[in-house]
């Protein structure tokens, strides 16, 4: 059995599992982060072991349920993608802060998640889902796929591909750049 897999089974109820087992390798990085945020993981700077983070991920995943965990993870990824590209909107920032009011806890959850990803990896099917993003609000591209950026210098102005709606194209372009090195 994979580490982090918990099967609840009582002697008098062997035919039906009370809760579906949680295999941490089948959770994306963002799913692990939101599960940690929802778990009993203490706030604070202390570092924890991979086994401890894994146990909290399992706890948080059960607490949220799969549907809610995936929904929160997609929104977290969407917020991260806008944030890293300097495209944050007030609406999405406000909803993100309502959802994750403890900013430092979310950072800690991300660090714990990253540790378990580096130690245990994730399944192939999960890797395929890992890059998906969702937005809780209107995209800065307004669904057009392009965002006009205005720089001080006219040469610095131009339309960029929306990092949310043209994600697949951007990823393919990055792969081409890496391959050309």
Residues that bind Zn ion (CB under 5 A): 139, 141, 162, 164-165
**Minimum CB distance to Zn ion, residue 141 (Å):** 3
**Minimum CB distance to Zn ion, residue 83 (Å):** 14
119 vs 170 by CB, closer to Zn ion:
170
Candidates 63, 43, 135; CA nearest to 94 is 135
Candidates 163, 49, 62; CA nearest to 111 is 49
Residues 6+ apart with CB under 8 A from 66: 20
87 vs 115 by CB, closer to Zn ion:
87
2 vs 172 by CB, closer to Zn ion:
172
**Minimum CB distance to Zn ion, residue 69 (Å):** 24
CB neighbourhood size of 38 (10 A)? 20
Helical (H) or strand (E) element with 6: none
């Amino acid at each position: 059995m994979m580490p982090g897999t918990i099967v609840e089974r009582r002697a008098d109820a062997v035919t039906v599992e009370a809760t579906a087992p949680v295999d941490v390798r089948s959770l994306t990085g963002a799913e692990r982060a939101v599960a940690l945020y929802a778990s009993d993981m203490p706030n604070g700077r202390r570092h924890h072991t991979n086994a401890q983070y894994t146990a909290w991920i399992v706890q948080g995943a059960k607490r949220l349920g799969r549907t809610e965990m995936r929904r929160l993870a997609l929104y977290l990824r969407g917020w991260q993608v806008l944030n890293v590209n300097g495209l944050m909107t007030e609406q999405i920032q406000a909803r993100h802060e309502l959802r994750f009011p403890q900013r430092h806890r979310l950072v800690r959850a991300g660090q714990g998640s990253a540790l378990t990803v580096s130690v245990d990896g994730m399944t192939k099917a999960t890797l395929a889902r890992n890059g998906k993003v969702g937005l809780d609000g209107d995209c800065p591209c307004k669904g057009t796929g392009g965002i006009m950026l205005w720089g001080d210098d006219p040469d610095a102005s131009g339309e960029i591909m929306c990092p949310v709606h043209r994600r697949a194209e951007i990823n393919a372009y990055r792969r081409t750049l890496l391959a050309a090195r």
